Amino acid sequence: METQNVLVVEDDATVSELVVSLLTDAGYHAIPVTDHAQIARTVERWQPRCVILDGELLPGGESRSWRDAAALRRTHPSLPVILFSGDHAVVAEARAGRSYRSRAAGFAGIIGKPFAIDELVTSVKAAVAGSRQIDEVGMIVHELRQPLTVIRGQAQLAMRRLADDPERGQVALRQVVTEVGRMDGMIDELLDRERVSAAGFSLNVTLLDLAGALVEAVARHEDGSSGRINLARPSGAVPVYGDAVRIAQIVDNLLSNASKYSATGASIDVTLTTDGVTAEIRVIDHGVGVPEEERALLFTPFYRTSKVRGIRGTGLGLHISRKLAEHHGGRLWLESSSHAGSVFALALPVARSDPPPTARS
């Protein structure tokens, strides 16, 4: 079995020697670094499967681990970073995962000093396994997308040049293109699931208007001029810090589910409210509902309730959406459900007056 490289960033020589010895005994090739400025160069040279990052203090007293971890996520999003710090405040903040810099850092593991040997080795094993899993899924996605691209191109070409029974042929080929698009979406969901589960997921965080984003999402899901979706929102902007694409992904999933699992033409009510601290979106459908005994499993990967198993779906959308909400410091939950329909709620923190740290990914 190939030896896995692990980068150990630790400026205390005694601690570094101990960690390297423990990792060597566990079968890893540990590469010690004392200068944080050498992290990027060392990562490029050795291609580690995991980085153990100490909490070196900057001249102003701030822990440098936040900045270094965020930089690694930008350049190597699938490389797991484990925080290794004796600063109890830093460890507590990282474990809570609610501050902007903790979400930007996206630590795959958190180890406080003094540390337990088992905790260190187990954390590294989990991080390396997660990194390997992302790479394997990425390879599968790459291999699958190549033939899908060819299929789509050939199908579109045939649609333009088909001569015999053109009407029927074009209907069939449109279906081919639709199915290819569906498969491509499933691949995206699979890759997203692996990334959010292995802490290899990055966000492009900007200041955005949640009210405007919701209006755009509703417009995308309206079918013609039916006015099926009823939207109630504040008249002004609702500012939040977030990844516009990923927040749209969450809302699109909720609206898509509401439409998919409701009777044709049934109305969907969408509301956006805010108390100045938290913004909450609720999507209220009049669909099949979720059986009470199945609600605890609703957000687990690949789970689909017994009432919708005859309808196409991967069972990943809600799981990924909840993880994305959590990456934004928010939450996603099923607020209520009955035979008359369900209410799903998304809560996100309203943007503070002061901007978040510039290093966000």
Residue 251 CA to chain centroid, in angstroms?
Answer: 14
pLDDT at 61: 60
Mean pLDDT of all residues in 2-10:
87
The mean pLDDT value for 113-137 works out to 78
Closest by CA to 271, choosing from 309, 230, 241, 301, is 230
Is pLDDT at 103 greater than 70 in this prediction?
yes
Residue 309 has pLDDT above 90, yes or no: no
Per the CB < 8 A criterion, the answer to whether 30 and 8 are in contact is yes
* Residues 121-130 pLDDT 10s: 888 888 887 6
Cα–Cα separations (whole angstroms), residue 4 to 27, 68, 69, 267, 321: 8, 22, 20, 54, 32
The confidence score (pLDDT) of residue 92 equals 87
338 CB-contact burial (10 Å; exposed 0-12 / middle 13-18 / buried 19+): exposed
Give pLDDT tens digits for 234-244: 999 999 999 99
What are 31's strand-pairing partners? 7
Structure tokens at 122: 């187990």
Of 222, 216, 211, nearest in space to 281 by CA: 211
Is 186 or 329 the better-scoring residue by pLDDT? Answer: 329
pLDDT at 231: 94
The answer to whether residue 195 scores a pLDDT higher than 80 is: no
Question: How many residues does this entry show for the chain?
Answer: 361
Task: Round the average pLDDT of the chain to a whole number and report it.
Answer: 83
* pLDDT of amino acid 268: 93
